[in-house]
Structure 1
Amino acid sequence: MASSLCVKYGGERRRPRWFWRGFGGRGRGGDRGGRGRGRRPRRETEEEKWVPVTKLGRLVRDGKIKSVEQIYLHSLPIKEYQIVDALVGPSLKDEVMKIMPVQKQTRAGQRTRFKAFVVVGDGNGHVGLGVKCSKEVATAIRGAIILAKLSVIPVRRGYWGNKIGKPHTVPCKVTGKCGSVTVRMVPAPRGAGIVAAPCPRRSSSLPVLRMFLLPPVDPPRLLETL
Structure 2
Amino acid sequence: MPVQKQADQWTRFKAFVATGEYNGRVGLGIKCSKEVATAMILANYSIVPVQRGYTGNKTSIPHTIMCKETGLCDSVSMLLNPGPRGTGIVSNPMTKKLPMMTSTDDCYTSVRDCTATLGNLAKATFDAIS
Do they superpose with TM above 0.5?
yes
* Cα deviation 1:5-63 (Å, max 9, x = unaligned): xxxxxxxxxxxxxxxxxxxxxxxxxxxxxxxxxxxxxxxxxxxxxxxxxxxxxxxxxxx
Which of 116, 125, 130 is the aligned partner of 2:29?
130
Task: Note the C-alpha offset of 1:172.
Answer: 1.1
Three-state SS of the structure 1 residue aligned to 2:40 is: helix
Are the aligned partners of 1:169 and 1:211 in contact in 2 as well (CA < 8 Å)?
yes
Amino acid at match of 2:30: V
User: 1:155 corresponds to which residue?
Assistant: 50
Distance 1:222 1:192, change over 3 A: closer
Distance in 2, Cα, partners of 1:225 & 1:169: 21
**Counterpart-to-counterpart distance in 2, 1:175 and 1:211:** 16
Task: State the TM-score, normalizing by the size of structure 1.
Answer: 0.47
Q: Find the residue that maps to 1:161 and give its secondary structure.
A: coil
Q: Which amino acid aligns with 2:21?
A: D
State the match for 1:189 in structure 2.
84
- Structure 1 position 222, deviation (Å): 8.5
CA distance in 2, matches of 1:181, 1:117: 17
The structure with the largest alpha-carbon Rg is: 1
Question: Which runs of 5 or more residues in structure 2 are unaligned?
Answer: 1-5, 123-130
Letter of the structure 2 residue corresponding to residue 132 of structure 1: K
Secondary structure, counterpart of 1:189 in structure 2 = coil
Deviation of 1:171 (Å): 1.5
Equivalent of residue 99 in structure 2, options 198, 204, 216: 204
The partner residue of 2:60 within 165, 168, 179 is 165
Q: TM-score with structure 2 length normalisation?
A: 0.78
Deviations 1:195-226 (A, max 9, x none): 11111111211110001011132337484445
Alignment of 1:22-171 (within 5 A): 108-135=7-34, 139-140=35-36, 142-171=37-66
Residues 72-112 of structure 1, C-alpha deviation per residue, up to 9 Å, x if partnerless? xxxxxxxxxxxxxxxxxxxxxxxxxxxxxxxxxxx715433
Q: Which has the larger share of strand?
A: 2
Whether contact under 8 Å (2:77, 2:111) holds in the other structure is: no
Higher RCO, 1 or 2 (CA under 8 Å, sep at least 6)? 2
Deviation by residue 1:163-189 (Cα, 9 ceiling, x = unmatched): 111100012111122333321100101
AA in 2 matched with 1:119: A
- What residue in structure 1 maps to residue 110 of structure 2? 215
Mark the runs of 5 or more structure 1 residues left unpaired by the alignment. Answer: 1-106
C-alpha RMSD of the superposition: 2.2
User: Percent of pairs identical after alignment?
Assistant: 46
Shift of residue 130 of structure 1? 0.3
CA distance in 2, matches of 1:166, 1:143: 35
Give the AA of the match of 1:181: V
